[in-house]
Amino acid sequence: MRLLVVEDDFALSEVLTYSLRQVGHAVDRADDGAAADQLLRSQHFDLIVLDLSLPRMDGLEVLRRLRTHQCTTPVLILSARDADDERVQGLDAGADDYLVKPFSINELVARVRALLRRSGGARSQQVRHARLAFDTVSRTVTIDDDVVDLSSREVSLLEAVFVHFGQVVSKERLLEQVYGYEGDVGLNTIEVYIHRLRKKIAGSGVALRTIHGRGYRLEVEDIPASDPHAGELARSLRPSGG
């Protein structure tokens, strides 16, 4: 998932960014409200961690503008303001949750996880294509219920192509989803991860194809007619429920 942390306290922003990246998220940062407002007008994020006391534009104003544009991205407010009226203002402006400083990093990570789970709405917790399944809550990947050992970066990459199954996803988009804009890495890094991921999902009935000049696409794998297990594999590729 791609997250935006809006916090003007550099030390706290560093801790938040590091902690959220450690659990597999791509994290971008903004240290003032105006910069956050500009980012939110042009980029998509899966969740926003938003401080209220920001230079150049207050966090509440950032939130109001976001909701004015009909953006439903979950927002977790951070604030040193503990008064009830401040909480009410934040929630009335469209915040989904509110965390008062100082707080436990473990609690923040848990709240982020809960908001991402809730924002999934009616979507299934487990998404399956052929024999490959991705659990959107635990972020585990299985082939025939056997867990595939993936690093957090590999999980983020697979998630990015999984949610766009059958569609081409560019290297640039994958880089954003896995590292965010602050990742000091090149596009060749994505190629390395793609190579590793292909090996780990081999035999799952889906393939990660290179679409030259455009990016990558996750799709159902072609089954050779000469494959002695073709019938069994074909059955496993049929959608469940008929």
Q: Name the residue ranges covered by the structural domains of the chain.
A: 2-119, 126-237
Please list the ranges in the chain whose pLDDT falls under 70: 81-84, 120-125, 181-184, 223-242
Q: Hey, what CATH class is 126-237 in?
A: mainly alpha
Structure confidence by residue, pLDDT tens digits, 112-149? 988 988 876 434 567 889 999 988 777 889 999 899 99
Q: What is 2-119's CATH topology?
A: Rossmann fold (3.40.50)
d(CA 183, CA 73): 22
- How crowded is the C-beta side of 236, counted as CA atoms within 13 Å? 20
Tens of pLDDT, residues 155-164: 888 988 988 8
The phi, psi pair for 69, rounded to 5°, reads -90, 15
Q: What is the pLDDT of residue 139?
A: 80
Domains 2-119 and 126-237 share a fold: no
**Is the distance from CB of 184 to CB of 128 less than 8 angstroms?**
no
Is the whole-model pTM more than 0.75? no
Cα–Cα distance measured from residue 96 to residue 172, given in angstroms and rounded to the nearest whole number:
30
Structure tokens at 129: 């294509």
Q: Give the pLDDT confidence score for residue 188 in this predicted structure.
A: 86
Burial class of residue 6 in the structure, from the number of CB atoms within 10 Å of its CB (0-12 exposed, 13-18 middle, 19+ buried)? buried
Specify the pLDDT at position 147.
93
For 84, the 3-state DSSP assignment is helix
Which pair of structure tokens corresponds to residue 86? 């401040």
Contact 154, 208 (CB under 8 A): no
